[in-house]
Amino acid sequence: MNETTTSLPETPANDAVASLPQQGPRDWLRQTAGAAAPPGGREPHAVGGRGGLVQWLMSDRPSSRRQAALGRAYGGCRTFARNRLAMVGLVIVVALVLVAIFADLLAPYSAYIGDLRTTRLLPPSWAHWMGTDDQGRDILSRLIHGSRITLFVVVLVAVLAAPLGLLVGTVAGYAGGLVDAALMRITDIFLAFPRLILALAFVAALGPGIENAVIAIAITSWPPYARMARAETLTIRQTDYIAAVQLLGASPWRIVLRHIMPLCLSSVIVRVTLDMAGIILTAAGLGFLGLGAQPPMPEWGAMIANGRLYVLDQWWVAAAPGAAIFVVSLAFNLLGDGLRDALDPKAAK
């Protein structure tokens, strides 16, 4: 039997394609600009400048996986930066993080100690920008220190709930059958109850406290992530590259952890960001009912509960923490909208 082999003609185009895996950004820029590197290995400024780097990042034919990943990241950042409301949300969230980090330096007074004789229920003034509460404590200082509690709740709930929901959803979607039915029925049970009511039940069983409130909110927050991850997994598992990985002998756990979960991660990140406002409100609701952070911790929901007795005459006691919850929740919603536009390839135009 005669064996015939076919090969591509040796043309400059084929030579360029064959050399793509070995090209780096400087080589690509040099070829694109038509400039050769002078002795000493230094490129001209026009080739290695910002314009050349942007051209390399936005290339339609990336020469390596690193270039493709950096190009996607750069394109997502550009899309996010064009959304002005998302940038406003990002600025507010970054400011919240900085305030929480430097709370001890930024707070003008103690968040726990007040003077009942001279500073009780004072209105906003130059000495106390947001007034004082019924214990004579400066409200601005308590809001600054309370930002730490808010970030603690948000970050810990996201760390606990998002991986759990992602794991349950991807395993259910890939395994199918009895495993899928069992996991989704458990998910449906959690989704059947309002989040705040279910969180109240868990906190009542565990006992009041900020740690138990975080656990209760995390337990009630994972089902939406599981549903989203399962829906994407049902689509991904039918693709050709998953079939190729199966033919190579990869185990189901490796396929789920290494090939399916990373593809579901961007959608989960967006959903977590959008849910952070609800997490903050749930934590504030538990604090308002006395099941979250306990006095004298400066938790914003507990501060509103403390000021409800004076809401008609000393309105600032409850208005200040309420405004803080509103601004931070709005910022996370704006940030989530921007991330959805930047990370969702279907929304790219």
Same domain? 139 vs 49: no
Residue 263 domain-assigned? yes
Residue 13 domain-assigned? no
Same domain? 135 vs 170: yes
**Burial group, residue 301, by CB count within 10 angstroms (0-12, 13-18, 19+):** buried
Residue 103 domain-assigned? yes
Tokens of 14: 């084929």
The pLDDT confidence band at residue 24, using thresholds 50, 70 and 90, is low
The model's pLDDT over 312-324, given as tens digits with 9 standing for 90+, comes to 889 999 999 999 9
pLDDT at residue 230, as a whole number: 95
Checking if the pLDDT of 195 tops 80, the result is: yes
Q: Which of 46-60, 206-220, 240-254, 255-269 shows the lowest mean pLDDT across its residues?
A: 46-60
Same domain? 178 vs 300: yes
Q: Residue 130: which residues within 8 A CB-CB, separation 6 or more?
A: 124, 138, 139, 140, 143, 316, 320
Same domain? 105 vs 215: yes
pTM as predicted: 0.79
Residue 275 domain-assigned? yes
For residue 318, the domain's CATH number is 1.10.3720.10
The model's pLDDT over 26-82, given as tens digits with 9 standing for 90+, comes to 555 455 444 444 444 444 433 445 667 878 777 778 788 787 778 888 888 888 889
- Residue among 193, 199, 190, 230 nearest 217 (CA): 199
- Residue among 335, 317, 321, 282 nearest 135 (CA): 317
Same domain? 127 vs 275: yes
Same domain? 72 vs 99: no
Tokens of 43: 């490129």
Same domain? 122 vs 60: no
Identify the bridge partners of residue 338 per DSSP, sorted by sequence position. none
DSSP state of 297: S
Tokens of 258: 């290494």
With beta carbons less than 8 A apart as the criterion, state whether 125 and 172 touch. no
**What's the count of helices (H) and strands (E) in the chain, helices before strands?**
16, 0
Same domain? 60 vs 131: no
Residue 148 domain-assigned? yes
Q: CA-CA distance, 66 to 254, in Å (whole number)? A: 23
Q: CA-CA distance, 307 to 233, in Å (whole number)? A: 47
DSSP string, 70-133: HHHHHHHHHHHHH-HHHHHHHHHHHHHHHHHHTHHHH-SS-SS---TTTSTTPPS-SSSTT-B-
Range of the domain at 53: 21-31+43-82
Residue 123 domain-assigned? yes
Amino acid in the structure at residue 225: Y
Rg, the chain, Cα only: 27
Same domain? 55 vs 140: no
Which of the two residues, 54 and 305, has the higher pLDDT score? 305
Number of structural domains found in the chain: 2
Residue 265 domain-assigned? yes
Identify the bridge partners of residue 161 per DSSP, sorted by sequence position. none
Same domain? 125 vs 155: yes
Same domain? 192 vs 299: yes
Amino acid in the structure at residue 8: L
pLDDT at residue 72, as a whole number: 81
The model's pLDDT over 95-121, given as tens digits with 9 standing for 90+, comes to 999 999 999 999 999 999 988 889 999
Q: CA-CA distance, 102 to 347, in Å (whole number)? A: 38
- Residue among 324, 314, 317 nearest 280 (CA): 324
Same domain? 71 vs 207: no
Residue 210 domain-assigned? yes
Residue with tokens 């991904």: 236
